[in-house]
């Protein structure tokens, strides 16, 4: 494909995306495809000879869109959102076009330095502790997901607790880690991956608001120490996936400090709220954290994947993850004057992800980002008020930010039926969880283009279907 | 940004990329930026108010390009290439635009089913064993890098060898893994991450062509068994990073089978060669493999990141990596009729990467891909002939495909000086390794737009600088 052909086909793809966003509300939010349906429409064998770009692009609408669940629909209220925006998509396009692989500083200095710079910006934007700055002892890095970032935090914790001997000797079955019962499932997965073992993960009980009980944590740590085990890692959450619960960071942080345990804070969804001073109370105690992760690809208008991971002591991370074979040696690395991000993550290779984040921050500006976050929180609070005012429904958890957990009082089956009917209708998409062992519906307001009318319509449809189900 | 603004700005970005490719040969291939230079040109603080898109895009040329090492330059011969192409960039753009997160089948059936389908295509295209087909006992998945894919292979091996108990109990220090001394550094990193420990990684010696000695492997496995250890994982390479050495898969595979050891094959770079029947001898014995990885983002015209990972027994992989919290439960998953790719990788979230791969295969067709691969190999072989014909130089290793390892006979300092001068000139970029403890230059032919004139010029420049250095 010559540059001029690329220009022509690229315009067509951009036009297709612009049209897609213009008509996105006409699609059912949750795909109606049946298992195997999309595959059945694809040819059994790859083409021997090349096809025209028009034919390829034409198949997007015909073969792919029926199998799309529209995460960018303003009526997508499921899971945690993964919002995107024009500047993010175009920043990402430039990253694809430049096609650099930023494993080393030398393999594209701008890829590394823009990333370091923008992540330092974010420390200020979210009012995170200064130790997370690259100009201090720490620094930030973009990873694909919070799962991967938390794995790196756990690995650094494992190494620090063993004086960096686990890398060499392997795990010994004596390391212990702590989360609450509400912590994201990725931590359980990370514990398994890192060889610590699920038997050595303590799930600390939560209070009536689904937040970790620090007293229970302290007791468990003491018991493990008495048993000759080595507590090495605590993960607290700002905004759990089930209910947006906020663990008490200050008390947990003090316990970690007293016990010399790595303290990791998972703010994957709700970190973005700290852009607004009035929501920073959710982050009280973050100054105790050894590491912190939040996902601009959830609620900060940056398309998947973009997870920002900060550490207070970059040396611990680098000592844990560094390898330097001969074929990667170069003068810049040897000088010690540069960051090589391959040592801050699991993979060696890496995309130029900072571009899309830089574009988003510059396009919206800090005030623009704050405006949208405030609006999402306001819409969720409004929705929560409607739930409270309808005596068929009840809130199932506090609503600190933009996630509303609620249920019909008719019981689990009614809630499941209600959700299935709503999702099948295509008018909106929401998902469920269990809180206190009861089926609970979740409505998360965070898609870039969600406005009052979308949330109003969602509530109207929920009320309509509730009448039918009950 | 409204759809119409997106259309306008999107056209401008596409034009910028088209122009970039049109003038890419005018840039120095290796960036000349000094450490800190790019950062110093960026404002200390993020903007409070949004900026115009024109201002943002204008800064790409001014602030970013000076810090780019041009991986897409046809004179990029360093490391292993990471080539891209128009259809890949545009497929990736659609992925960014659709903005789906494919953690579950239900969260976009097309994202999962297109991926499964295209990876089944690749099994046929590379003549891989049928057990890797999703319609058999195995299947393929797209990961970010071979590092991550190999980590998943190692984890599944670890679990299978412990009857899936390591996930629960953690590692016990008795598991042993095997690579050659030439295996990619990512395996060492994976061994550390998985809690196996470097002390339990055996680096098997290589022959005069830098390929693993199967006899030495068998002896080491026997010795470890006698010592009460549990051999669990062997990684062989088709095309090592240092010298493109090809390990004898058949002999290694038989040893693994006799000893019930997971056999992983890393063909990150050279897997693409198997598109051409005449290069499939490099894959002889791949039928013994339990898992296999190759990177279309290296040599198959698909921009970073796109690494294809195949397993023969998908149940082992899923049992190793599956987690299912309540908030991810859904009818499709419970039915057992769909693939949820979150259970095939470390992260939970995932991009719609299959689009770019599908676009590449359809745009080029199988014959088009074969044509370009053959051409790259031909150019590398031509270069190797020139080296042999110049008595100042010598080849440092066999040249099975598209990587030429060579050196000036003047010794390490001359070679280092030669490489530094060439890279500083901006005319080309090549990197080094050590083979038999001697500094060796590497020239890899694989960039999408590399033609005979670029390789000819590279050789001319090497000869010129050799005259000056010596």
> B311 vs A79, B91, B127, B189, B365, CA distance in Å?
30, 26, 15, 21, 25
* CATH entry 3.10.520.10 includes domain B363-469: no
CB-based contact, A302 to chain B, within 8 Å? no
Task: For residue B365, give the nearest of A5, A50, A71 by CB distance.
Answer: A50
User: What residue of A is the nearest CA neighbor of B158?
Assistant: A195
Q: Residues of A with CB below 8 A from B167's CB?
A: 192, 197-198
For residues A401-433, one letter each, b for 16 or more C-beta atoms within 10 angstroms of the residue's C-beta and e for the rest, the string is: bbbbbbbbeeeeebbebbbebbbeebbbbbbbb
Yes or no, beta carbons of A171 and B195 under 8 Å apart: yes
The tokens for A115 are 């990333």
Q: Residue B165: exposed, middle, or buried by beta-carbon count in 10 A (0-12, 13-18, 19+)?
A: middle
Q: Residue B436: exposed, middle, or buried by beta-carbon count in 10 A (0-12, 13-18, 19+)?
A: exposed
A13: nearest Cα among A96, A69, A77, A82: A96
Give the Cα separation of B274 and B283 in Å (integer). 7
Q: Residues of B with CB below 8 A from A53's CB?
A: 87, 90, 363
Q: Domain spanning B3-73: which superfamily?
A: dopa decarboxylase, N-terminal domain (1.20.1340.10)
Give the Cα separation of A383 and B236 in Å (integer). 57
A232: nearest Cα among A179, A167, A285: A179
Nearest-10 Cα torsion for A150, A155, A157, A161: 160
How confident is the model at residue B470, as a pLDDT? 75
User: What residue of A is the nearest CA neighbor of B117?
Assistant: A39
Q: What is the mean pLDDT of residues B139-161?
A: 98
Mind giving me the DSSP string for A204-222? E-B-TTS-B-HHHHHHHHH
How confident is the model at residue A371, as a pLDDT? 98
pLDDT at A122 over 80: yes
CA angle B52, B57, B60 (to 5 degrees): 140
pLDDT at A470 over 90: no
> What is the C-alpha end-to-end distance of chain A, expressed in Å?
59
pLDDT digits (tens, 9 = 90+) for B224-279: 999 999 999 999 999 999 999 999 999 999 999 999 999 999 999 999 999 999 99
How confident is the model at residue B265, as a pLDDT? 98
Q: Taking the CB of residue A398, how many other CB atoms lie within 10 A of it? A: 16
CB-based contact, A125 to chain B, within 8 Å? yes
B171: nearest Cα among B181, B152, B157: B157
User: What residue of B is the nearest CA neighbor of A148?
Assistant: B347
State the Rg of chain B over Cα. 23
Domains B3-73 and B363-469 share a fold: no
User: What residue of A is the nearest CA neighbor of B301?
Assistant: A99
- Split at pLDDT 50, 70, 90, the class of A138 is very high
A80: nearest Cα among A33, A146, A178, A169: A146
Give the Cα separation of B428 and B441 in Å (integer). 13
How confident is the model at residue A85, as a pLDDT? 98
- Split at pLDDT 50, 70, 90, the class of B173 is confident
Q: What is the mean pLDDT of residues B338-355?
A: 97
- Split at pLDDT 50, 70, 90, the class of B365 is very high
CB-based contact, A127 to chain B, within 8 Å? no
Q: CB under 8 Å to B338, separation ≥6 — which residues?
A: A35, B105, B106, B109, B112, B332
pLDDT at A410 over 90: yes
Q: CB under 8 Å to B59, separation ≥6 — which residues?
A: none
pLDDT digits (tens, 9 = 90+) for B368-425: 999 999 999 999 999 999 999 999 999 999 999 999 999 999 999 999 999 999 999 9
Asked if B73 and B322 touch (Cβ cutoff 8 Å), the reply is no
In words, the CATH class of domain A365-469 is alpha beta
Cβ within 8 Å of A, B 333-352: 335, 337-338, 346-351
What's the gap in Å between the CA of B163 and the closest CA on chain A? 14
* CATH entry 3.40.640.10 includes domain A92-358: yes
pLDDT at B46 over 80: yes
Q: Taking the CB of residue A137, how many other CB atoms lie within 10 A of it? A: 15
Q: Phi and psi at residue B188, in whole multiples of 5°? A: -60, -45
- Split at pLDDT 50, 70, 90, the class of B3 is very high
A381: nearest Cα among A364, A356, A358, A406: A406
Asked if A229 and A172 touch (Cβ cutoff 8 Å), the reply is no
For residues A224-254, one letter each, b for 16 or more C-beta atoms within 10 angstroms of the residue's C-beta and e for the rest, the string is: beeeebebbbbbbbbbbbbbbbbbbbebbbb
On the question of a cis peptide bond just before residue B163, with omega within 30 degrees of 0, the verdict is no
Yes or no, beta carbons of B22 and A31 under 8 Å apart: no
Give the Cα separation of A113 and A102 in Å (integer). 10
On the question of a cis peptide bond just before residue B447, with omega within 30 degrees of 0, the verdict is no
Angle between helices B3-22 and A86-98 (to 10 degrees): 10
CA angle A84, A352, B118 (to 5 degrees): 75
User: What residue of A is the nearest CA neighbor of B325?
Assistant: A185
User: What residue of A is the nearest CA neighbor of B34?
Assistant: A109
pLDDT digits (tens, 9 = 90+) for A79-117: 999 999 999 999 999 999 999 999 999 999 999 999 999
- Split at pLDDT 50, 70, 90, the class of A198 is very high
The tokens for A296 are 């601009």
Cβ within 8 Å of A, B 174-213: 175, 184-186, 188-189, 192-200
Q: Which residues pair with A140 in a beta bridge?
A: A310
Domain spans in chain B, listed from the N-terminal domain onward? 3-73, 100-351, 363-469
Give the Cα separation of A447 and B244 in Å (integer). 47
Q: CB under 8 Å to A25, separation ≥6 — which residues?
A: A73, A74, A75
Give the Cα separation of A70 and B115 in Å (integer). 18
**Consecutive H or E run containing A59:** helix A53-59
What's the gap in Å between the CA of A354 and the closest CA on chain B? 11
Interface test with A, best of B5, B102, B327 (most A CBs within 10 A): B327
Give the Cα separation of B189 and B198 in Å (integer). 9
> A303 vs A269, A370, A447, B272, CA distance in Å?
14, 18, 11, 30
Yes or no, beta carbons of B111 and A6 under 8 Å apart: no
Query: What's the whole-number average pLDDT of chain B?
Result: 97
B441: nearest Cα among B467, B468, B406, B417: B406
pLDDT at A264 over 90: yes
Asked if B291 and B311 touch (Cβ cutoff 8 Å), the reply is yes
Q: To the nearest whole percent, how much of chain A has pLDDT over 70?
A: 100
Give the Cα separation of A221 and A356 in Å (integer). 42
pLDDT at B90 over 80: yes
How confident is the model at residue B289, as a pLDDT? 98
Q: CB under 8 Å to A35, separation ≥6 — which residues?
A: B105, B109, B332, B335, B337, B338
Q: Residue A281: exposed, middle, or buried by beta-carbon count in 10 A (0-12, 13-18, 19+)?
A: exposed
Asked if A175 and A232 touch (Cβ cutoff 8 Å), the reply is yes
State the Rg of chain A over Cα. 23
pLDDT digits (tens, 9 = 90+) for B311-331: 999 999 999 999 989 999 999
The tokens for B404 are 């030429």
Yes or no, beta carbons of A6 and B15 under 8 Å apart: no
Q: Taking the CB of residue B284, how many other CB atoms lie within 10 A of it? A: 13
Q: What is the mean pLDDT of residues B134-150?
A: 98
Q: CB under 8 Å to B124, separation ≥6 — which residues?
A: A45, A46
CB-based contact, B144 to chain A, within 8 Å? yes
- Split at pLDDT 50, 70, 90, the class of A53 is very high
Q: CB under 8 Å to B83, separation ≥6 — which residues?
A: A99, B71, B72, B298, B299, B300, B301, B446, B447, B448
Q: List, edge to edge, every strand of the sheet that includes A431-435.
A: A393-395, A403-408, A438-444, A431-435
| pTM for this entry | 0.98
Q: CB under 8 Å to A276, separation ≥6 — which residues?
A: A370, A373, A374
**Consecutive H or E run containing A63:** none
> B111 vs A33, B99, B425, CA distance in Å?
12, 11, 44
- Split at pLDDT 50, 70, 90, the class of B104 is very high
How confident is the model at residue A75, as a pLDDT? 98
Query: What's the whole-number average pLDDT of chain A?
Result: 97
Q: Which residues pair with A432 in a beta bridge?
A: A441
How confident is the model at residue A172, as a pLDDT? 83
Task: For residue A101, give the nearest of B71, B242, B363 by CB distance.
Answer: B71
Q: Phi and psi at residue A273, in whole multiples of 5°? A: -60, -30
Beta-sheet pairing, B230-237 with A403-408:
unpaired
What's the gap in Å between the CA of A370 and the closest CA on chain B? 10
Cβ within 8 Å of B, A 44-63: 45-51, 53, 55-56, 60, 63
**CATH code of the region B100-351:** 3.40.640.10
Q: CB under 8 Å to A260, separation ≥6 — which residues?
A: none
pLDDT digits (tens, 9 = 90+) for B116-126: 999 999 999 99
């Amino acid at each position: 494909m010559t540059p001029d052909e690329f220009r022509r086909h690229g315009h067509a793809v951009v036009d297709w995306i612009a049209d897609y966003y213009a008509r996105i509300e006409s699609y059912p939010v949750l795909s109606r495809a049946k298992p195997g349906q999309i595959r059945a429409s694809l040819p059994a064998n790859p083409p021997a000879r090349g096809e025209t770009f028009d034919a390829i692009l034409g198949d997007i609408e015909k073969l792919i869109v029926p199998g799309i669940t529209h995460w960018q629909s303003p009526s997508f209220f499921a899971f945690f959102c993964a919002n995107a925006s024009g500047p993010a998509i175009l920043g990402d396009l430039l990253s694809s076009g430049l096609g650099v692989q930023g494993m080393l500083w030398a393999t594209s200095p701008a890829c590394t330095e823009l990333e370091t710079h923008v992540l330092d910006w974010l420390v200020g934007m979210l009012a995170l502790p200064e130790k997370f700055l690259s100009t201090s002892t720490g620094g930030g890095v973009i990873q694909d997901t919070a799962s991967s970032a938390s794995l790196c935090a756990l690995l650094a914790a494992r190494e620090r607790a063993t004086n960096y001997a686990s890398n060499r000797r392997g795990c010994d079955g004596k390391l212990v880690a702590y989360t609450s019962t509400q912590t994201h499932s990725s931590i359980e997965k990370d514990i398994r991956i890192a060889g610590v073992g699920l038997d050595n993960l303590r799930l600390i009980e939560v209070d009536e608001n689904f937040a970790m009980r620090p007293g229970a944590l302290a007791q468990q740590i003491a018991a493990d120490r008495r048993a000759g085990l080595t507590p090495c890692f605590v993960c607290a959450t700002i905004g759990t996936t089930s209910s947006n619960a906020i663990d008490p960071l200050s008390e947990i942080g003090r316990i970690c400090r007293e016990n010399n345990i790595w303290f990791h804070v998972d703010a994957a969804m709700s970190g973005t709220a700290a852009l607004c001073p009035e929501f920073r109370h959710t982050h009280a105690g973050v100054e105790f954290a050894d590491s912190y992760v939040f996902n601009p690809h959830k609620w900060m208008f940056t398309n998947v994947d973009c997870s920002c991971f900060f550490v207070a002591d970059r040396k611990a991370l680098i000592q844990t993850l560094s390898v330097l074979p001969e074929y990667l040696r170069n003068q810049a690395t040897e000088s010690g004057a540069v960051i090589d991000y391959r040592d801050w993550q699991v993979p060696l290779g890496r995309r130029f992800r900072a571009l899309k984040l830089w574009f988003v921050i510059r396009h919206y500006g800090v005030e623009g980002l704050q405006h949208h976050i405030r609006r999402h929180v306001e819409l969720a609070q409004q929705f929560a008020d409607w739930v409270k005012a309808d005596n068929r429904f009840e809130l199932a958890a506090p609503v600190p930010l933009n996630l509303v957990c609620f249920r019909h009082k008719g019981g689990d089956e009614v809630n499941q039926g209600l959700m299935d009917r709503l999702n099948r209708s295509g008018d909106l998409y929401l998902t469920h969880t269990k809180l206190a062992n009861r089926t609970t519906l979740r409505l998360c307001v965070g898609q870039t283009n969600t406005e009052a009318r979308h949330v109003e319509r969602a509530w109207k449809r929920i009320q309509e279907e509730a009448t039918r189900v009950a």
